Amino acid sequence: MSERPARPRPSGASATGASRASGATTLSHVAIAVREADPLVKVLVEGLGGVRGGEELLDDGALRVVFVRLGAVTLELLEPRSAEHTVAKFLEARGPGLHHVSLEVRDLAARLARAKAAGVQLIDETPRPGAHGTQVAFLHPKSLGGVLIELCQSSRPSVEPAGD
């Protein structure tokens, strides 16, 4: 039996698919804006076999964040607790649905500088606190095909794959 040849990797990509050149190491989560998180949590857990994770209050209690794990994907449900919160304004304008896609990066400040130099419109010029002790910054959807992108740097050290 002959072995299939390995597919060539793009320049700068590791065996895990993470590109050192891009700086994004993995999908952190997909965020969904909702008026009430609990009914969707129930559907995701009971209907799709998800596992309910933790929850946090962010922005001085103005935003409730509930996490649900579906296999390798984490969904972050965003439930505003104040009509003045940006997620409440998002819901008012667009209704419930996809809010943002979050990408994990190793060096958030460097990624922001690189994005800005490439002409990406930044919402956050500097990192700010996110859930689970992370630092986050948002990139404007006008620069990225209509999708709000969050860059996220974990406070836990990343584990690098062993070199070849």
Q: Rounded to an integer, what distance in angstroms lies between the CA atom of residue 37 and that of residue 110? A: 34
- The whole-angstrom separation of Cα 76 and Cα 101 is 10
pLDDT above 70 coverage of the chain, percent:
81
**How confident is the model at residue 86, as a pLDDT?**
95
Dihedral of CA atoms 82, 85, 91, 94 in degrees, nearest 10, equals 160
Question: Where do the domains of the chain lie, and which CATH numbers do they carry?
Answer: 25-153 (3.10.180.10)
Look at 9-13, 91-95, 142-146 and tell me which has the smallest mean pLDDT: 9-13
N residues, the chain: 164
- Structure tokens that stand for 6 in this block: 């390995």
Q: Is the pLDDT of residue 160 over 70?
A: no
